[in-house]
A and B are shown apart, each in its own frame.
Chain A
Amino acid sequence: GAGVSQSPSNKVTEKGKDVELRCDPISGHTALYWYRQRLGQGLEFLIYFQGNSAPDKSGLPSDRFSAERTGESVSTLTIQRTQQEDSAVYLCASSSLTGGTGELFFGEGSRLTVL
């Protein structure tokens, strides 16, 4: 596609429910990132995928968070047993190069609200 696409745009869920967020990167981009942005805060790195290499999961805050990516296409971020502190905007970004100049192309994010 023309840009990074994320869905849903907004998600309201009850505490304890599982949620799945989707990211469709720019076609041909091998690198994919998930960031979390809490209200009034900067971006917090969650996970990085590069081609078929093992993902860097070092930013995932707990084992309730997991992410998958099929090849160099769609990625899903799953949050199990959601907690109120999971409320945030989850941003996905893709890049055409490993390393390179570091320019990331972002989606519009998925706003998650846990009641």
Chain B
Amino acid sequence: AQTVTQSQPEMSVQEAETVTLSCTYDTSESDYYLFWYKQPPSRQMILVIRQEAYKQQNATENRFSVNFQKAAKSFSLKISDSQLGDAAMYFCAYYSGGSNYKLTFGKGTLLTVNP
């Protein structure tokens, strides 16, 4: 069974600085998708960034980028120029696609942004 591990329950960063959130996963699949979701206090989960495992290039979305290390099964999220609005719970998620349509989530990392 796939598992997703986020080893940092909490992280903090100063406004305008850079922070990296860690995620590792376990799978025997060769093709899959990885996601970072953000959950602000409003509770609504919002997709931050997505990475297809067959793509070697790391995904980027504005200030958000990932470091995808397929062999190491690592998928970290880097937030550059952190803003107060980035404060939220961040969840890493794995999806194998095909007949397995469930996303497997990590337990989350609570990010605090200090002014």
A and B found bound together:
yes
Instruction: Using CB atoms and an 8 Å cutoff, list the residues of chain A in contact with chain B.
Output: 31, 33, 40-43, 45, 48, 50, 56, 59, 89, 91, 93, 98-104, 106-109, 111
Q: Is the contact region of chain B dominated by helix, strand, or loop, or is it mixed?
A: strand
Among B44, B97, B99, B105, the residue within 8 A (CB) of A43 is B105
Instruction: Using CB atoms and an 8 Å cutoff, list the residues of chain B in contact with chain A.
Output: 4, 33, 35, 37, 42-47, 50, 52, 91, 93, 95, 97-108
A100 contacts across to B, CB distance below 8 A: 97
- Judge whether A102 and B35 touch: CB under 8 Å: yes
- Judge whether A101 and B33 touch: CB under 8 Å: yes
- 19 contacts across the A-B interface (CB closer than 8 A): A33-B102, A42-B105, A42-B107, A42-B108, A43-B105, A50-B101, A56-B101, A89-B43, A100-B97, A102-B93, A102-B95, A102-B101, A103-B50, A104-B45, A104-B47, A106-B46, A107-B44, A108-B43, A108-B44
- Judge whether A91 and B99 touch: CB under 8 Å: no
Measured CA separation A43–B50 after assembly (Å): 18
- Judge whether B42 and A48 touch: CB under 8 Å: no
Residue of B nearest to A45 (CB): B102
With A98-B101, A106-B44, A108-B43 as given contacts, are A43 and B91 in contact (CB-CB < 8 Å)? Answer: yes
- Judge whether B105 and A102 touch: CB under 8 Å: no
Measured CA separation A103–B42 after assembly (Å): 20
Among A45, A48, A102, A106, the residue within 8 A (CB) of B45 is A106
